Chain A
Amino acid sequence: MRIFFFVVALLISYSSVQAQDMTALVTKVKAKLDQVNDYEADGNMKTDVSFIKAPIGKVKVYFKKPNKFRLKKEGGISLLPKGGVSVNMSTIITTSDFVALAAGEAVIDGFKTKIVKLLPTNEASEIVITTLYIDEPNLLVRKAITTTKENGTYEMQMSYGAFANFGLPQKVVFSFNTKDYKLPKGITLEFDDNEKPLSEAQKLKNKKGRVEITYSNYIVNKGIADSFFK
């Protein structure tokens, strides 16, 4: 019996040490991201959603701590996935409100990463769970999968360039689930009936959307007024 309790105690302490370790890692990543108080960057945005025909657009992205984010597109109209504030990592990693658990290792884009599950401690949090793929030597998040209560599951895959030391990505690929889109022809005043019915495979493919932003010209910590985000 004593041995049994000893093993259980060992397991509990081991798992708590593991969780502790991951919190430490996430804290280090957060500390790296915290170097950035604000930034603005130019970017090219590509929207790949089955029911959207949009050209690649030039965008300007603005961020200010803790979670102010704005994306402005040249010409004025931008389409982002609902709940798209999580396009930036800083809003996802808030270690004070999360428990970080280890969940193995994986290779992303040729980089060995630690898989960390972030569970929110706050019941009211919109995020249900976030899985981070952290490149430990470089303290960079290579991939993040976030499941939300209202807006489904998002996946972000990041690649880094010149601003990797700030944890700022060069390219972000944002994948998400889409809902069906259909407007009555009476509203759109379209009366052609040239549409062919979609196959099941196409329907499944059409449920996935992607937004890809390639960043350039980061301007970091030069100050952005709060009023800019209103």
Chain B
Amino acid sequence: MWTLIQIELYKIFRRPRTYIAFIAVAALITIIQFGLKVDGKSYADFLMKDIGGTMEIDGNIINGYLICYIMLQLLLVHVPLLVALIAADMISGEANMGTLRLLISKPFSRTELLLAKFFASTVYTLLLLVWLAILALFLSMWIFGTGDMFLMKSSYVVLLSENDVFWRYAGAFVFAALAMVTVAALGFFLSIFAENSIGPIVATMSVIVFFTILSTLNIPIFNALKPYLFTTHMISWKEFFDIQVNDANEAIVGSIQNPQKIVNSALVLIVHIIGFVGGSIWIFNKKDVLS
């Protein structure tokens, strides 16, 4: 099994297109960092416009922690598209090249083959997230420094103490990994139905875009549908950055406002992963492979 995974990883990282995602993420992050380094104050003033009527905020708001949060908000909507580029090609790519039939004639089961391919695409997804963490979090911390994290939500603001932030990022990235693996599993599932890569890649992207739009629309008729869309749960990483307050309105350091929501969303995503991978194995084992 390990040998199979190594072979699949070799195949993934031999292809130039694999590195498109890493380059795209690096380019996006560095351009945002450059913009905020040059004109971060204007951005901060724009954000503070509403609260500035009541409070004076003193200190370095645009620090590495806030910048990473801003980037995760922007990128975690688009990174799934980069994940789909590889995951949705795992089976269909072999079919397209005509090597799938040959591959399943080797002395290992179809289930082993699929699991190896899925684990390899998971490794790619996790490496992409590690790359994102290095650039968005650690590079931003180095360029902009650290400090308290000042987060503006739509109806309140959250001030997190400097020593209460890093573990939240650790949790958020682990959760984001779960969300991205769900996307990889979806792409993987769709890839078993096609004989060329474009179809499942575009289908995965379409599903994500469609579900994300439904998740974000605030129209009552869609609200009942939202809990059942995995895209709704993919953004629950943000819950790590909301803090509980006691009766005296003092924030409780080390707390999370709604930990149950994180657990529920994680369970929904895990069920999706199991469903997509299990479905892929079940269908692929029954499939008549002709290419």
Contact = CB atoms under 8 A, between A and B. Distances in A.
Contacts of B73: 189
Interface stretch (A5-13, A73-81, A141-149): A73-81
A224 B238 CA distance: 43
Contacts of B56: 79-84
A46 B252 CA distance: 12
B55 A81 contact: yes
B58 A55 contact: no
A76 B63 contact: yes
B177 to A, nearest CB: 20
A182 B152 CA distance: 10
Interface stretch (A33-41, A117-125, A190-198): A190-198
Contact of A79 (B159, B250, B253): B159
Interface in A80-124: 80-84
Contacts of B156: 50-53, 181
A188 interface: yes
B50 A181 contact: yes
B153 A188 contact: yes
Contacts of A57: 148, 161
Interface in A36-81: 46-57, 71, 73, 75-81
B43 to A, nearest CB: 11
B16 interface: no
A25 to B, nearest CB: 32
A80 B157 contact: no
Interface in B224-251: 232, 235, 238, 242-243, 245, 248-251
Contacts of A52: 55, 156-157, 159
Contacts of B80: none
Given A75-B162, A181-B156, A183-B153, A53 B251 contact: yes
A78 B57 contact: yes
Nearest to B74: A189
A50 B245 CA distance: 11
A137 interface: no
B102 to A, nearest CB: 46
B127 interface: no
A230 interface: no
A79 B54 CA distance: 10
Contact of A77 (B59, B223, B252): B59
A213 to B, nearest CB: 14
Interface in B249-285: 249-253
Contacts of B119: none
A179 interface: yes
Contacts of B157: 51-53, 181
A157 interface: no
B53 interface: yes
B95 interface: no
B216 interface: yes
A54 B223 contact: no
Contacts of B162: 75-76
B52 interface: yes
B55 A82 contact: yes
B252 to A, nearest CB: 7
B218 interface: yes
A170 interface: no
A77 B62 CA distance: 10
A55 B164 contact: yes
Nearest to A178: B54
A209 interface: yes
7 closest A-B pairs by CB:
A77-B59, A76-B147, A54-B159, A76-B59, A75-B148, A77-B148, A75-B162
23 contacts: A46-B250, A49-B55, A50-B249, A53-B245, A53-B249, A75-B59, A75-B147, A75-B148, A75-B161, A75-B162, A76-B60, A78-B59, A80-B55, A81-B55, A81-B56, A82-B53, A82-B54, A83-B56, A178-B54, A181-B50, A183-B50, A183-B155, A190-B238
Given A71-B58, A82-B53, A183-B152, 4 more contacts: A52-B55, A52-B156, A77-B59, A178-B54
Interface of B: 47, 50-61, 63, 73, 147-148, 150, 152-164, 215-216, 218, 223, 232, 235, 238, 242-243, 245, 248-253
